[in-house]
Structure 1
Amino acid sequence: MLGLVYNRAAQTHGPDRNPVIVIPGILGSRLKDPADGRLVWGAFDHDYIRPNDPEGARLIALPMGEGRLRDSVSRLEVDGSLDTVDVSIFYLPLRLGAYVNILQTLGVGGYRDEQFAEAGTVDYGTDHYTCFQFAYDWRRDNVESAHALLDFIAEKRREVQAHYERDYGIVDADVKFDIVAHSMGGLLTRYALRYGHADLPEDGSLPELTWAGAEHVERVILVGTPNAGSVEALTQLRRGAELPFFWPDYPPALLGTMPSIYQLLPRPRHGVYRDAETGAWIDRIYEASYWEERGWGLFDPEEDKVLSWLLPEASGRAERLAVAREHVAKCLARAEQFHAALDRPAARPEGMSLHLFTADSRKTDAAVSIDHENGDVRVATTHVGDGTVLRSSALMDERLDGDWGPRLRSPIDWSGVMFIFSNHIGLTKSEAFSDNVLYLLLEQPGRVVSD
């Protein structure tokens, strides 16, 4: 049915139609070990890399050490976006859809992506190419990934300009992109747009908000983005990630090496963390000492075996804890600074629209109760969302309990918001999602490009 609606628009190609960049969320890019070519993340057959043995844990974890987080050197390489997950049960191959739903929606609109056209995952036709997948190392600091996104945009812009010059005779065309970003991909997108290549200053202050990264972007569509964080980030750093189906569990010490997960934590000012005994709200979530007192993540005594795998050169637990202490402090400080940079109120730059697709039909964890003695984390309250991200988090709703009003108050200057009755992953499977995304990309009035 959508093909009938958008068929003519999908066949109308040219410089007036922006190329699209699709940005996946956490876990949405394949990671490969160049030493032997094996996928460390993205394929689960009989020979996959396991997180619960020393070699596998060291490969999957982000190396810890002195210096800045960006100085951490991992031997893994990004090996493209994860449109589907290759799995094997009893040596029988299966393919599970991941971001193929977004690609299929764009395929209806006539967008063709070179990465997956050859694989045959999506039938894009033969006459269009303007869909690009931005793959990144989702374990790393989101600011690093934001800078990589800007480099990617610059590279693809040169490619599209060459195409326009060859096919349309337009020299140095003013190419702009539309962006569709899912989940955590929306966070790094927002940072890139606001701050360009500026880093978070080492003194803890915030960079100048210049919108430098928005120069070559016209439409931005965020899908299920946890703009105010997700309780799931804390529970996974506490208990590990219990992935669905038959995938292996990822222990909390391994996840605790990844700066991006700390950057998914909810904001303390939103009343998310509560002391189980006193009921008082906790605002120490960015303090490494608080994590050590609770025995969370890298500090969990039961995780010392995993920590010894990750730090085989350390002489004992005391030395391992010293490394962990420095790493967690860096991750939490970076997360607090990253949150402050994204939470700064700012009007959109002229010529750029910002749209949100989110859900409010699933019970979603909203606040946790923390046991002061053993550090246990239990869900205290739930509210509406997509099962992973609260409605209020996606909106970045700042109407706190003591300062509530009937109108949304958010530091994000939304152009439009669409609510879908679905869950976090199912958002992209919805026909309402596909219909409205195609309208925004293909039919919503925008700038007119002429030679």
Structure 2
Amino acid sequence: MSPQRQVSTPRPASGEAELSHHVTQDAVVIVPGIMGSELRDSATGSVLWGLSGTGWLLRAWTRRDGLAGLHLTDDELTGRTGRVQATQLLRHGTWTPYLRGQEPYTDLIDTVREHVADPAAILPFPYDWRLPVATNGKLLAARAREHLTAWREHPAHLAALGHRADRRPARLVFIAHSMGGLVTRSALDGTHFDDLAADTRTVVTLGTPFHGSVKATVILNSGRGAPVPLPHAKLRALCATMPGLHDLLPLYRCLRVGDDVHRLDAGHITALGGHPGLARDSLAFHARQRHVPLPDHRTVVGTRQPTEQSLSLASGHVTAYGDGPRPHSDGTLIRDRDGRVRYFAAHGDGTVYRDAATLSGHVSTVPAQHGDLARADSALDAVTDILLEDLPHGIPLGEPGCGLSVPDLAEAGVPWRATAENIDSAQGLTCTLTDTGTGAERPVPVHMRDGRPTATITADAPGLYRVGLHTYDRYTVSQLVLVSAPGVLAEAED
């Protein structure tokens, strides 16, 4: 065997700062979640999704034609894409019914930038999240290969090799939030133009619903048999024929039927409001993906937030529950002494329950909401450790912090409540309300109500507000709430 090739590292030019030892030589790809990429009309350049400002959000969700450009066309449903272009990762906080607040990816990108040899090592990968995960996975595979090739030829890559013990050439590190983890797994499935997995050092996923999310069934079912606010009805109309949303449906045993629990099949998905063809395609896709390994997979999951885990389906109407069954080691469900299925509240990040986001043994838990997982300090600390090749050990002493429950929507001048979950005392707990448009922040008193710490909040003006709960152990959990002018959010039949 020939000796390992030694790489000579050029010295910095006169006056040039020494490269920090706390950097990686690897190339990093950042893959956002559903609705985490700005989308534009390719012909006109107009923004279809991702503009900042409360005014744009309210127009998008409360006008009948506010999201018309996002609806998939017949051509797009048959695979002829290109009408819509994904241009960049979200740079501003936004809001979606049911999925609620989505924080921008600026903090994640800034954190990664501090620990790479040069900004050229970073590839943000925006994608059209309306389309099938498989479609975006193929695009990601090609872009990631191009990125790695270009970075290995970059002068900063050669300089970085001298700061790492193994001095190996760069490999890929994927950091993926939510749906982005599914897109990444699709890119690494080995069926594309080359074996990208062989050049991947690690995959970091933040709240990825590998086993799906009950929240997706609630979205598809919204308004069936009951009136809902106009934004919720608009989201269902958008998602009813959206392949990307169908790829997020739960794959585990979650459907309560009598005294048993079943997996959803295409018939169930159609009955609750999904598209039969898209349901079949998605189930077949996930069956193929089930055995695709993720190299050195590190999972960061949100915990302590009330999260829907199971559902029942009656006369086309979904009822979601915050608890679900658990299996014995042989796969049979845990039952009580009378033979009835027992249900357990495992919690999660408010959108994806903990076990549904877990695919590997390396798991770090953070008390954070789904939309905040790519911004929360505890999650960014885990990302930093992984970038520098230190194994993450999770949060010491179990799971500090707390859960947070806030309304989906609120109206200016009307009081509403933010409630701390999984904590039984208001001692050391503080709450803040921040107007994301102006940055103005004010404290909100926390008091005990019905045995739970509660803050009663009134926003005086419409806007996108961030509610933050700060615990005595110095953890913060936050969620975005859209506040409209009084009377704007009228009920609507789907």
- The verdict on a shared fold, with TM-score over 0.5 as the criterion, is yes
Q: Secondary structure at the match of 1:357?
A: strand
1:227 aligns to 2:210 (yes or no):
yes
Counterpart position of 2:309: 366
CA contact (8 A) 1:69 1:330 kept: no
Residue 419 of structure 1: which of 365, 368, 391 is its match? Answer: 365
Aligned pairs for 1:249-268 (under 5 A) are 250-267=234-251
1:145 is the counterpart of 2:145 = no
Number of the residue aligned with 1:130? 121
- Are the equivalent residues in 1 in contact too, given 2:308–2:350 (CA < 8 A)? yes
Task: Give, in whole Å, the separation in 2 of the partners of 1:176 and 1:166.
Answer: 11
Alignment of 1:71-86 (within 5 A): 71-73=79-81, 75-85=83-93
Q: Deviations over 1:305-326 (max 9, x none)?
A: xxxxxxxxxxxxxxxxxxxxxx
1:117-266 correspondence runs (5 A):
128-164=119-155, 174-197=169-192, 212-239=195-222, 250-266=234-250
**1:11 matched residue in structure 2:** 20
Answer yes or no: is 1:100 the counterpart of 2:106.
Answer: yes
* Matching residue of 1:114: none
Deviation of the 1:159 alpha carbon: 2.0
Q: Supply the AA of the counterpart residue of 2:79.
A: D
Q: Which amino acid aligns with 1:379?
A: A
Spell out structure 1 runs of 4+ moving beyond 4 A. Answer: 44-49, 51-58, 165-170, 246-249
Q: Letter of the aligned partner of 1:218 in structure 2?
A: R
1:41 equivalent to 2:46? Answer: no
- Tell me: CA distance 1:40–1:168, structure 2 relative to 1, closer, same or farther (3 Å): same
Paired letter, 1:106: V
How far apart are the structure 1 equivalents of 2:361 and 2:217? 31
Paired amino acid for 2:173: D
User: Does 1:428 pair with 2:383?
Assistant: no
Distance 1:152 1:356 in 2: 23
The Cα of 1:51 is off from its aligned counterpart by: 6.2
Q: Is the 8 A contact 2:205 2:300 kept in 1?
A: yes
Q: Which residue of 1 aligns with 2:350?
A: 387
2:443 maps to which residue?
none
1:23/1:181 contact within 8 Å kept:
yes
In 2, the alpha carbon distance for the partners of 1:194 and 1:370 equals 34
Residues 362 and 386 of structure 1 are in contact (CA less than 8 Å); yes or no, is this contact kept in structure 2? yes
- 1:332 lines up with 2:312 in the alignment: no
The partner residue of 2:72 within 55, 62, 65 is 62
Match in the other structure for 1:115: none
- C-alpha separation between the residues in 2 aligned to 1:55 and 1:153? 36
Q: For residues 225 and 169 of structure 1, do their structure 2 counterparts lie closer, same or farther at Cα, with a shift above 3 Å needed?
A: closer
TM-score where L is the length of structure 2:
0.60
Residue 429 of structure 1 and its aligned partner are, at CA, apart by 3.4
Given that residues 193 and 214 in structure 1 are in contact (C-alpha distance below 8 angstroms), is that contact kept between their aligned partners in structure 2?
A: yes
Q: TM-score, normalised by structure 1?
A: 0.65
Partner residue, 2:290: 343
CA distance in 1, matches of 2:18, 2:319: 50
Does the 8 Å contact 1:231/1:265 carry over to 2?
yes
Deviation at 1:141, TM superposition (A): 0.5
Unaligned runs of 5+ in 1: 1-7, 88-94, 112-126, 199-210, 241-245, 298-327, 396-411, 446-451
Any idea what the Cα deviations from partners look like across 1:399-434, whole Å, max 9, x if unmatched? xxxxxxxxxxxxx4x351111122212333333322
Name the CA distance, whole Å, in 1 between partners of 2:237 and 2:102.
27
Residue 274 (1) aligns with residue 256 (2): yes
State whether structure 2 residue 20 is matched by structure 1 residue 29.
no
CA drift at 1:333: 1.4
User: Shift in Å at residue 150 of structure 1?
Assistant: 0.7
* Contact 1:78 1:137 survives alignment (8 Å): yes
Contact 2:272 2:317 in 1 (8 A): no
- Per the alignment, residue 383 of structure 2 pairs with 437
In structure 1, the partner of 2:3 is none
Provide closer, same or farther for how the CA distance between residues 422 and 47 of structure 1 changes in structure 2, counting only shifts above 3 A.
closer
Structure 1 counterpart of 2:333: none
| C-alpha distance in structure 1 between counterparts of 2:276 and 2:43, whole Å | 31
* Cα deviation 1:93-117 (Å, max 9, x = unaligned): xx98411231232233256xxxxxx
Contact 1:51 1:60 in 2 (8 A): no
Superposed displacement of residue 362, structure 1: 1.5
Amino acid at match of 1:30: E
Could you tell me how far apart the structure 2 residues matched to 1:433 and 1:376 are?
36
| C-alpha contact (below 8 Å) 1:30/1:42 kept by paired residues | yes
Q: Deviations over 1:185-238 (max 9, x none)?
A: 00111122123428xxxxxxxxxxxx9230221111111111100000000011
Amino acid at match of 1:176: R
Counterpart-to-counterpart distance in 1, 2:94 and 2:354: 31
**Aligned to 1:362, what secondary structure does the other structure show?**
coil
- Structure 2 residue aligned with 1:307: none
Residues 10 and 442 in structure 1, CA contact (< 8 A), matched pair in contact too = no
- Whichever residue aligns with residue 193 of structure 1, its letter is L
| Contact 1:147–1:192 under 8 Å retained in 2 | yes
CA distance in 1, matches of 2:147, 2:114: 22
Hey, what does 1:296 align to over in structure 2?
A: 273
Unaligned runs of 5+ in 2: 1-16, 96-100, 162-167, 224-229, 324-344, 392-494
**Which has the larger share of helix?**
1
The code of the aligned residue for 1:419 comes to T
Higher strand share: 2
Change in 2 beyond 3 A, CA 1:436/1:284: closer
CA contact (8 A) 1:10 1:108 kept: no
Matched to 2:186, the amino acid is: Y
Aligned partners of 1:183 and 1:223 also within 8 Å: yes
1:402 aligned residue = none
